[in-house]
């Protein structure tokens, strides 16, 4: 069972982590892997913190991991990276979006957004920091930030043998396909 | 055949379809909701509906079973509390055609008020129970559940948990099998539960349970997997997958998928083949207690604990004593508690009630429970579906008896909850002369579970138009002579409604009517508010409405244009007229 890889995607509700997990699992299934994925619905929506776990290999039992169980983490928001970093193996890789979403308590001034999240992650883990927000904005669609990060993750995981462009063609609606393919390309090179 | 990735809920729906189910009724509740959202795709072969509550859903499904159609109902774990009455009697009477009840439990309470272990219901109600551990089993075992139901003429519980419901794994689909239609014939001794009949039913049921235990002992659903004699593990549901992850082929397993009645002979046989026996199960020691009572020496809860979900890491640590290696960040994140969305119609209501600190507000289950969170903080209690009005009534009676009768008490619930079980509370207040203002926050949808239709929304589960039941007329018909329907987003009107209701000489009720902005089939007037920083004095009044779109930057209010929907509640509370609506 040692060939099983575990990925944890974390972010804030509405950032598109679920869409990335759909593309990812679709590609992995087509490539012949056993795949399990876990997400929690309900209260986690509405601007809350979100985590999705994807596991793949020749045979996967548990759909979820515990602390220290993920080979790679993709954080769509940088404070979420420190929230969930316990789930990452000490020798794991963290792909982090250099992007802040203020919780309501911070926006209203009753709490402070922590300083030094990226430095803390760099100190503890092998990190790939991506300015996905700027890249997506330059492409003209801030929402495709998630696919930039997806590209960076594919690169970090060494999953480039799968034809992700074909997978995205199957899953994404045509009106947003082209911009997302460009976003993916930028992420691959990030 | 190509396998596809399905959630447990999708697969359970697929399984019911393949099992030839014909009549399906449910009330939404996380984590069970998507089972029924996945049924309309099979709409040519089956009938499916949202019922007003779980008791109704269970009764509808049982009625269909009596009439000879395979039937399904689904609910979250606490829904079974609501449906318990018909289910206990259905067990005594027995099923007609196959009758399966899905209970979706929520260990760790991801979206629930308790983590009751509904396996205990299977013993209590004397209803056989099947537990799948992954999506393929959700589909295959559903077919088996219908088979057992018909073979022994009993209802069958199908217990899932959050991780089984919401995890996705590969499923190979099969074909639908239609049941042979048997013409309905009245059967009074079986289906009319008079005491005389019930005495016979109980004797019958105990016999059936012994037969099903024998079946459970023979069934391949309870399967042994031998890997030596050092360690044996008895496990079920998602815990089986966790155990396999941790112990791989270094332990022998007895996987229990029919957990009531337990296959005790098979368990005894397995126990005799291993030197050490451990039971791995989430929540209550359901299997362990029964095994110990049967004289089987085993361990379990002394290591795994009764609280919350398990996972492979916790099993490794608690049973093997191996601590996981991980790094805790020194930089601490701040929380992201859920909040009412920008533009949520509930905001104006709770803001208005939050202005008086001595109001007592009894809430209910739904998005509006979030009215309890600061800065709104406008809630005293939240107990269960439909409890808002009756708990409020009880509090008002206590205030009367304690000579605190000056207290103003509000009962609060949403439209779907009103139809679920709130109407009886509204009747109670009138009948027993309560001093409570019942308030229905009618946002035209069942919100928290992800937008399911209800008797007030005008549509059914299949997406067809349905009779739209008018809450105002219902309250008037009960005897509320002063029903005030108000747009909660208009704060002046909202305040006037509250004052009017409190000052009313006749029984009064408030209906806050404005659709949730996330309802897809409606057109919403979305725009954006902006702050004139010359006028803003940084008084922070606008922060008191608890809107995620408003922040303070450089001591002035700032509205995030990507989040704002232009509801203008903030503009209405600004004392300096510094916020106005912009064209987007």
Res A39: pLDDT: 86
Q: Are B53 and B155 in a shared domain? A: yes
- Kindly determine whether residue B338 and residue A89, on different chains, have CB atoms separated by under 8 Å: no
Res A46: pLDDT: 63
- Complete DSSP assignment for B277-291: EEEE-SSS-HHHHHH
- Kindly determine whether residue B341 and residue A46, on different chains, have CB atoms separated by under 8 Å: yes
Touching check for B168 and chain A: CB below 8 Å?
yes
- Kindly determine whether residue B167 and residue A42, on different chains, have CB atoms separated by under 8 Å: no
Q: Are B273 and B383 in a shared domain? A: no
Please state the rounded mean pLDDT for residues A67-93. Answer: 97
How close, in Å, is residue B18 to chain A by CA atoms? 23
CATH of the domain at B552: 3.30.70.20
Domain extent for B536: 528-582
Touching check for A43 and chain B: CB below 8 Å?
yes
For residue B521, is it within any domain? no
CA angle B419, B163, A148 (to 5 degrees): 100
Q: Are B168 and B142 in a shared domain? A: yes
- Kindly determine whether residue A108 and residue B170, on different chains, have CB atoms separated by under 8 Å: no
How close, in Å, is residue B281 to chain A by CA atoms? 14
Q: Are B295 and B388 in a shared domain? A: no
Contacts B335 to A, Cβ<8 Å: 103, 105
Residue B503 burial class via C-beta count within 10 angstroms: exposed 0-12, middle 13-18, buried 19 and up:
exposed
For residue B257, is it within any domain? yes
- Complete DSSP assignment for B45-77: T-EEEE-SSHHHHHHHHHHHHHHT--EEEEEEH
The tens digit of pLDDT for each residue in A1-35 reads 479 999 999 999 888 899 999 999 999 999 999 99
Question: Is 0.90 exceeded by the ipTM?
Answer: yes
**CB-nearest partner of A108 from B162, B330, B551:** B551
Distance, in Å, from the CA atom of B498 to the CA atom of B488, rounded to the nearest integer, reads: 11
Residue at which a domain ends, from B513, B541, B567: B513
CATH of the domain at B126: 3.40.50.970
Distances in whole angstroms, Cα of residue B450 to Cα of each of B347, B446, B516, B525, B547:
19, 7, 11, 21, 20
Q: Hey, what are A126's tokens? A: 């092998």
Q: What residues of chain A, 95 to 114, have a C-beta less than 8 Å from chain B?
A: 102-109, 111-114
Provide the pLDDT confidence category of residue A43 given band limits of 50, 70 and 90: low
Distance, in Å, from the CA atom of B40 to the CA atom of B578, rounded to the nearest integer, reads: 49
For residue B332, is it within any domain? no
**CB-nearest partner of A108 from B4, B34, B552:** B552
How close, in Å, is residue A12 to chain B by CA atoms? 9
Distance, in Å, from the CA atom of B328 to the CA atom of A90, rounded to the nearest integer, reads: 10
Find, among B53, B52, B58, B54, the residue nearest to B23 by Cα.
Answer: B58
CATH of the domain at B299: 3.40.50.920
Q: Hey, what are B548's tokens? A: 């995620």
Helices (H) and strands (E) in chain B, counts: 21, 22
For residue B327, is it within any domain? no
Residues B127/B121, Cβ–Cβ less than 8 Å:
yes
Burial B408-418 (b: 16+ CB within 10 A, else e): bbbbbbbbbbb
Contacts A78 to B, Cβ<8 Å: none
* Number of domains, chain A: 1
- Complete DSSP assignment for A32-63: T-EEEEEE--STT-TT-EEEEEEEEESS---S
Find which of A11, A14, A39, A61 to mutate to test the B interface (most B CBs within 10 Å of its CB). Answer: A61
For residue B330, is it within any domain? no
Domain extent for A146: 5-107+115-189
For residue B270, is it within any domain? yes
Q: Hey, what are B275's tokens? A: 């030197």
For residue B340, is it within any domain? no
**CB-nearest partner of B329 from A61, A82, A112:** A82
Residue at which a domain ends, from B513, B540, B555: B513
For chain B, what is the radius of gyration of the CA atoms? Answer: 27
Distance, in Å, from the CA atom of B517 to the CA atom of B282, rounded to the nearest integer, reads: 38
The tens digit of pLDDT for each residue in B501-512 reads 999 999 999 999
- Kindly determine whether residue B325 and residue A68, on different chains, have CB atoms separated by under 8 Å: yes
A53: nearest CA partner in chain B: B167
Q: Are B143 and B166 in a shared domain? A: yes
Contacts B329 to A, Cβ<8 Å: 82-83, 85-86, 120-121, 124
The tens digit of pLDDT for each residue in A99-121 reads 999 888 888 888 999 999 999 99
Q: Are B73 and B159 in a shared domain? A: yes
How close, in Å, is residue B54 to chain A by CA atoms? 19
Q: Are B353 and B487 in a shared domain? A: yes
CATH of the domain at A141: 3.40.920.10
Q: Are B165 and B126 in a shared domain? A: yes
For chain A, what is the radius of gyration of the CA atoms? Answer: 16
Distance, in Å, from the CA atom of B74 to the CA atom of B156, rounded to the nearest integer, reads: 12
A67 torsion bin: left (phi>0), alpha (psi -120 to 50), beta (else): beta
* Number of domains, chain B: 4
Touching check for B113 and chain A: CB below 8 Å?
no
Distance, in Å, from the CA atom of B280 to the CA atom of B305, rounded to the nearest integer, reads: 10
Interface A-B: count of C-beta contacts within 8 A: 180
Res A1: pLDDT: 46
Q: Are B72 and B196 in a shared domain? A: yes
Res B561: pLDDT: 87
Q: Are B502 and B409 in a shared domain? A: yes
Res B51: pLDDT: 98
Intervals of chain B under pLDDT 50: none
Residues B421/B413, Cβ–Cβ less than 8 Å:
no
How close, in Å, is residue A113 to chain B by CA atoms? 7
Q: Are B383 and B497 in a shared domain? A: yes
Q: Are B455 and B413 in a shared domain? A: yes
Query: In 10 A of CB A110, how many CB atoms?
Result: 14
Q: Hey, what are A167's tokens? A: 């997978």
């Amino acid at each position: 069972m040692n060939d099983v890889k575990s990925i944890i995607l974390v972010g804030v509700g509405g950032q598109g982590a679920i869409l990335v997990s759909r593309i990812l699992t679709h590609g992995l299934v087509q490539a012949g892997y056993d795949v399990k994925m876990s997400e929690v619905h309900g209260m986690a929506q509405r601007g809350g913190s979100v985590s999705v776990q994807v596991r793949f290999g020749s045979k996967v039992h548990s759909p979820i991991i515990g602390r220290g169980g993920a080979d790679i983490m993709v954080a769509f928001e940088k404070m979420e990276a420190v929230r969930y970093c316990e789930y990452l193996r000490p020798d794991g890789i963290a792909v982090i979006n250099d992007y802040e979403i203020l919780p309501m308590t911070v926006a209203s001034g009753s709490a402070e957004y922590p300083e030094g999240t990226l430095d803390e992650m760099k100190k503890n883990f092998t990190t790939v920091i991506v300015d996905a927000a700027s890249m997506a904005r330059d492409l003209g669609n801030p929402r495709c930030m998630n696919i930039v990060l997806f590209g960076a993750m594919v690169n970090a995981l060494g999953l480039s043998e799968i034809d992700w462009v074909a997978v995205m063609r199957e899953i994404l609606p045509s009106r947003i396909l082209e911009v997302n393919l460009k976003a993916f390309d930028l992420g691959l090179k990030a | 055949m190509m396998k596809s990735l399905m959630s447990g809920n999708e697969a359970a729906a697929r399984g019911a379809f393949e099992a030839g189910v014909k009549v399906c009724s449910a009330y939404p509740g996380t984590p069970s909701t998507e089972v029924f959202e996945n049924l309309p795709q099979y709409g040519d072969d089956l009938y499916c509906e949202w019922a007003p509550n779980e008791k109704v859903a269970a009764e509808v499904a049982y009625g269909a079973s009596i009439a000879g159609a395979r039937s399904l109902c689904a609910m979250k774990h606490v829904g079974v509390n609501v449906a318990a009455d018909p289910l206990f009697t259905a067990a005594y009477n027995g099923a007609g055609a196959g009758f399966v009840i899905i209970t979706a439990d929520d260990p760790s309470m991801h979206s629930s008020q308790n983590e009751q272990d509904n396996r205990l219901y299977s013993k209590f109600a004397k209803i056989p129970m099947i537990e799948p551990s992954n999506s393929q089993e959700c589909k295959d075992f559903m077919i088996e559940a219908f088979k057992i139901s018909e073979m022994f003429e009993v209802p069958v519980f199908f217990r899932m948990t959050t991780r089984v419901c919401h995890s996705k794994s590969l499923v190979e689909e099969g074909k639908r099998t239609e049941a042979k239609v048997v013409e309905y014939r009245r059967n009074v001794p079986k289906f009319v539960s008079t005491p005389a009949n019930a005495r016979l039913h109980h004797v019958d049921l105990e016999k059936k349970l012994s037969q099903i235990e024998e079946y459970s002992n023979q069934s391949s659903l309870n399967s042994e997997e031998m890997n030596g004699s050092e360690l044996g593990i008895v496990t079920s549901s998602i815990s089986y997958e966790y155990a396999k992850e941790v112990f791989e082929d270094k332990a022998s397993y007895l996987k229990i998928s029919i957990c009531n009645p337990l296959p005790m002979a098979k368990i005894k046989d397995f126990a005799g083949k291993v030197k050490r026996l451990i039971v791995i199960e989430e929540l209550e020691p359901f299997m362990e207690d029964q095994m110990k009572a049967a004289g089987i020496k085993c361990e379990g809860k002394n290591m795994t604990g009764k609280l919350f979900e398990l996972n492979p890491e916790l099993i490794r640590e608690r049973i093997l004593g191996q601590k996981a290696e991980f790094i805790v960040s020194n930089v601490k994140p701040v929380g992201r508690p859920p909040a009412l969305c920008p533009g949520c119609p509930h905001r104006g209501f709770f803001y208005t009630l939050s202005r008086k600190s001595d109001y007592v507000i009894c809430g209910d289950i739904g998005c509006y429970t979030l009215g309890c969170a600061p800065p709104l903080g406008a809630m005293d209690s939240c107990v269960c579906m439909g409890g808002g009005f009756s708990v409020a009534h009880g509090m008002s009676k206590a205030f009367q008896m304690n000579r605190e009768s000056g207290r103003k008490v509000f009962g609060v619930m949403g439209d779907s909850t009103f139809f679920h079980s709130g109407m009886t509370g509204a009747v109670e207040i009138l009948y027993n002369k309560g001093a409570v203002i019942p308030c229905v926050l009618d946002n035209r949808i069942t919100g928290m579970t992800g937008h399911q239709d209800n008797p007030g929304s005008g549509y059914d589960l299949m997406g067809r138009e349905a009779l739209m039941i008018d809450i105002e007329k219902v309250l008037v018909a009960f005897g509320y002579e002063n029903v005030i329907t108000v747009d909660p987003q208009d704060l002046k009107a909202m305040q006037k409604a509250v004052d009017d209701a409190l000052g009313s000489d006749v029984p009064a009720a408030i209906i806050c009517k404005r659709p949730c902005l996330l309802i897809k089939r409606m057109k919403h007037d979305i725009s954006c508010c902006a702050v004139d920083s010359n006028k803003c004095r940084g008084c922070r009044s606008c922060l008191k409405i608890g809107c995620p779109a408003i922040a303070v930057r450089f001591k002035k209010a700032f509205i995030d244009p990507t989040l704002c929907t232009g509801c203008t509640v903030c503009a209405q509370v600004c004392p300096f007229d510094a916020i106005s609506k912009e064209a987007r």
